[in-house]
Amino acid sequence: MKFRMIAGFTIFFIIYSLLVLYIGWNGWVWLESTRLPLPPVILYGVIFFILAFSYIFGRAKFRMPVFTIIGSYWFGIVQYALLLLPFADLAGYILIETGLPSNKVVFWIGLLLLAAFASIFAYGTFNAYSPVIRQYSITIPKQAGGRKKLKIAMASDMHFGNLSGLSHLRRLVEEANNLKPDIILLPGDIIEDDPEPFIRKKMGEVMKELSAPLGVYGVLGNHEYYGGAIPEFVKEMDRVGIQILQDEVLEIDESFFLAGRKDKTDRLRQGMSDLLAVADPSMPIIMMDHQPAEVSIAAENGVDLLLCGHTHRGQMAPNHFITKKLFEIDWGYLKKGELHAIVSSGFGFWGPPLRLGSRSEILEIDVTFADEAVPHHNQNEGAIL
């Protein structure tokens, strides 16, 4: 097993280094075409090496947030460089073969690429930091005590830390509270791995302003596990009035059950049937499960509303084609039997603060409880309003 890990890492390192070399070579060729004074090749190589491995430097033992930030943006540069550069190189080759001066061809194609990157980053940054409210309306054909309706405000994948910071958190608090929800649910990846930046920036003081009559609840996501500081994270959430459910089921207001699962990352998490053994199936059951990996199992176990995140809807196009292949539902609404499944693209972001083909969002979910089974599917159910 150890040999396989070392071999896999070595192969990844070689391939990644070759891709970085390809990007760096294109950059050097364009710099030569500008006829500006060039830096020493060694200095240029060192700069590219730092850019390429800055995220790792930022997560080393002596953590340096500036490298984490640089590395996060670098991921976006690499993705779109690898998508655009082959076409740019092919176009340049064809134009040069037609007899156009190679220096001018390289210069103008490079300039167009820079303009494309500027547009991508500007538009992607706007989508990342300008959340929208998406509305869903569903009916659960069960009695919920004396309650006829429930308004849920939901936000997942905030990734609060260095780049998803205080300003973005304030947007969440303001927008969520403006919805005047009955309950606020946060299905995982509340922080970006390590809780240290969240605590150091006193983000909890802002997050504690989230307010709903039935409370604020969350679950663990894979990034809380990656941070390796779950007890510290849960303690901070308790301090600010957010209850993190770890394979727990609560009866809320004698009206419905709220189940919160540990993330799929945790191999010791309870099976769904064991977890829900304490819930009365005649009452509505709402479940938070960070990853939408067990939608069918939730339907089989009598869950009425499943709320997930994790996928970011790929975050940066065309990654959404990958998430659509990985999950039965990677974003939006799915009705499966009596189950309503809703997956959010997330409020924050992982890596670069860029979203293309997705948008930062808060969900407003209006639930109507019925006294008896609904005979026909409501065509408006689950629709984004």
Q: What is the mean pLDDT of residues 176-195?
A: 96
Q: Is the pTM of this model over 0.85?
A: yes
pLDDT at 270 over 60: yes
- pLDDT category of residue 67 using cuts at 50, 70 and 90: confident
Torsion of CA 37, 41, 47, 52, to 10 degrees: 130
Check residue 301 and give its pLDDT: 97
Total domain count for the chain? 2
Check residue 379 and give its pLDDT: 40
pLDDT at 377 over 50: no
Check residue 380 and give its pLDDT: 43
| Any domain includes 385 | no
- Residue 351's identity, in one-letter code, is G
Residues 54 and 161 in one domain: no
| Any domain includes 154 | yes
Q: Say if residues 376 and 160 touch (Cβ distance below 8 Å).
A: no
> Of 78, 95, 127, which residue constitutes the final position of a domain?
127
**Mean pLDDT in the chain?**
93
Check residue 376 and give its pLDDT: 44
Q: What is the mean pLDDT of residues 84-97?
A: 96
The C-alpha atoms of residue 319 and residue 316 are separated, in whole angstroms, by 6
Percent with pLDDT over 90 in the chain: 84
| Any domain includes 320 | yes
Instruction: Give CA separation, 272 vs 60, 263, 302, 333, 336, in Å.
Output: 36, 12, 10, 21, 17
| Any domain includes 377 | no
| Any domain includes 375 | no
| Any domain includes 162 | yes
Residues 99 and 208 in one domain: no
DSSP string for residues in 153-171: EE-----BTTTB-HHHHHH
Query: For 305-359, where are the alpha helices, taking DSSP H only?
Result: 320-326
Residues 199 and 110 in one domain: no
The C-alpha atoms of residue 95 and residue 117 are separated, in whole angstroms, by 22
Residues 259 and 291 in one domain: yes
pLDDT at 382 over 70: no
Residues 137 and 123 in one domain: no
- pLDDT category of residue 280 using cuts at 50, 70 and 90: very high
pLDDT at 375 over 60: no
- Which tens digit of pLDDT belongs to each residue from 211-268? 999 999 999 999 999 999 999 999 999 999 999 999 999 999 999 999 999 999 999 9
Residues 52 and 159 in one domain: no
Residues 79 and 167 in one domain: no
pLDDT at 373 over 80: no
Residues 259 and 222 in one domain: yes
Check residue 24 and give its pLDDT: 95
Residues 96 and 114 in one domain: yes
Q: Say if residues 320 and 199 touch (Cβ distance below 8 Å).
A: no
Which residues sit opposite 363 in a β-bridge? 134, 154
Check residue 115 and give its pLDDT: 97
Percent with pLDDT over 70 in the chain: 95
Residues 97 and 9 in one domain: yes
Which residues sit opposite 147 in a β-bridge? 144
| Any domain includes 41 | yes
> Which residue range forms the structural domain that includes residue 11?
2-127
Q: What is the mean pLDDT of residues 178-201?
A: 95
- pLDDT category of residue 372 using cuts at 50, 70 and 90: low
Tokens for 203, please give them.
């983000």
pLDDT at 61 over 60: no
Residues 22 and 60 in one domain: yes
Check residue 7 and give its pLDDT: 84
Residue 292: CATH number of its domain: 3.60.21.10
| Any domain includes 151 | yes
> Of 88, 105, 127, which residue constitutes the final position of a domain?
127
Residues 104 and 182 in one domain: no
> Of 127, 148, 183, which residue constitutes the final position of a domain?
127
- Which tens digit of pLDDT belongs to each residue from 291-336? 999 999 999 999 999 999 999 999 999 999 999 999 999 999 999 9
- Which tens digit of pLDDT belongs to each residue from 143-170? 998 899 999 999 999 999 989 999 999 9
